[in-house]
Amino acid sequence: MRNLVYLISGILIFSTSTACVSQAEQRTNVVTNPNSPTVTSLNARANQTLSPSTQLKSRPKKKTIRDEWTQRQIPVKLFGMEGFPFTTYFPENDFVVESGASGEGMGVWFYSKASGKKYEPAYVHFFFPAKPPNLEGMRRSVIGKRGLIETNQWTVKGRTQNVPYRWAKERIDFEQRKGNKSFMGTVYIGEYKGKAFQVTEHFPADYGDGFAPRASIILKELQVKD
């Protein structure tokens, strides 16, 4: 993870709107600069041929699902890209999707939309290390010394291995105060084929009622590729 800090600090260009998001976390992720050739907007690549895996072929590109919070049927779109080891569905009207890769690994960001534009403080982020650790190694990178939680100055509010998602082995809830703003979220530690990955859900505390229900769709619909 320390190598990734140096990589990102040299190549990232941040907009002023990212001030609401922990810069420390951005440095621990793979490339997030949307102008980088390694980052692509899903909408811009709508016509790209997806990986011809059995999983992608078996999942429709679009469908409607019931929002468990509002009990309304909402349209969702399939996310699946060549080289990424998972697929999921997301409410296309509520998220902007970007992906990126570096020597440290690959990531996908589902940013919330606000007034039709990307709202960076509210996101779901998937990170798959290039050299995946086991579960214990991933726990250390999240809650250990100089890990994700400490680097971002997040405060752990709870941990549990009782998680409703089949792919998730542990959830770690956190909160953060930055000036007069309060943020909260969850880091999920997942596993597939003995390889660990992490999923981070992050949003302003006063934004949760609108964001959390939509974010839960992405997590619930996640399928890791065989």
Q: Which residue has the tokens 């692509």?
A: 40
Note whether 113 and 93 are within 8 A (CB). yes
Listed as ranges, residues in the chain with pLDDT below 50 are 1-52
Find the angle CA(33)-CA(12)-CA(19) to the nearest 5 degrees: 85
Judged on CB neighbours under 10 Å (0-12, 13-18, 19+), 165 is middle
Q: Look at the chain and count its residues.
A: 226
Q: What residue numbers bound the domain in which 25 lies?
A: 2-44+53-224
SS3 195: strand
Among the listed residues 224, 210, 226, the one whose alpha carbon sits nearest the alpha carbon of residue 67: 210
Residue 194: give its domain's CATH number.
3.40.1000.10
- In this prediction, residue 226 carries a pLDDT of 59
Question: What is the average pLDDT value for the chain, to the nearest integer?
Answer: 79
H or E element, residue 8: helix 2-11
Q: Total structural domains in the chain?
A: 1
pLDDT in tens, 2-56: 343 333 333 332 333 333 333 333 333 333 333 333 333 333 333 333 343 556 6
Predicted TM-score of the model (pTM): 0.75
- In this prediction, residue 48 carries a pLDDT of 36
